Structures are given as structure tokens and as C-alpha cells.
Amino acid sequence: MIVIYHNPNCSKSRESLEILETSKEDIQIIKYLDETLKVEKLRKIVKLLNIKPIELVRQDETLWKENFQHLEFSDEELIEVMTNYPQLIERPIVINGDKAVIGRPPTKILDIL
């Protein structure tokens, strides 16, 4: 089953979901703004993506710029910030087994189908 961490208000997330829906795969849609991710789950996602937590932060978000960008965070602290402020998480995140990508651009998800 393919999992998409989805924000319906995001055009890239909607485009990624369209790609998945045409793939004939079973899809689990998680609206991560409604279903807040736990720290352990976000840790696993970061590991699957093979990135540093800062690479998952939407650094152009006003919330980030006004409240966090001037501060220093450990990787673990960044994960906690993202779980407390899920709007800072880059989207969409698509996971297929042990593979994961951030769907920017949306066609990037084709790499893991």
C-alpha cells in the first residue's frame, strides 16, 4: 500500500494524489494537518526519505521565518517543532514500502511506484 501525507489545500499535493489514483495501487491518504504526526513516525519518515530534518521544513513559510529560522535546533528538536507545527512539513510525502519521496515536483513520485 502506498501512503501519501496529503494537504488538500496544496496544488502539488493534489497533483501527486491524482498521479497515485491513476496508478491502480492501493492508497492510504493521511491528511497530516488533521492527524498530527507523532515524533516517532516523523523520525521514521525522515529516515525513509534519507534526508536531514531541516530538509523537510518549509523554510519559506511565514511561521518558520517569524518564529524559528533565527534559532538553532538539533535534528531531534526540529522533528519536535514539525510535530507541533505540521504546516511546516514539506508536502506531499509519498511512501511505498521502504521508499519515500517528497512530491516536488509531483512526477518525482513515479520514481517509487
What's the pLDDT band for 24 if we cut at 50, 70, 90? confident
Contact predicate 75/22, CB 8 Å: no
What's the pLDDT band for 6 if we cut at 50, 70, 90? very high
For the four alpha carbons of 98, 99, 102 and 106, in that order, the dihedral sign comes to negative
Q: Which amino acid is at 42?
A: L
The 3-state DSSP class for residue 26 equals coil
Decide: pTM greater than 0.85.
yes
> Domains in the chain, ordered, with CATH?
2-112 (3.40.30.10)
Cβ density class 57-96: b for 16+ within 10 Å, e for less: beeebeebeeebeeeeeeeeebbebbbebbebbbbbbbbb
Q: What is the DSSP letter of 113?
A: -
Active-site residue list? 10
Residues 38-94 have pLDDT tens digits of 999 999 999 999 999 999 999 999 999 999 999 999 999 999 999 999 999 999 999
Q: What is the DSSP letter of 8?
A: T
- Per-residue model confidence (pLDDT) at position 36: 86
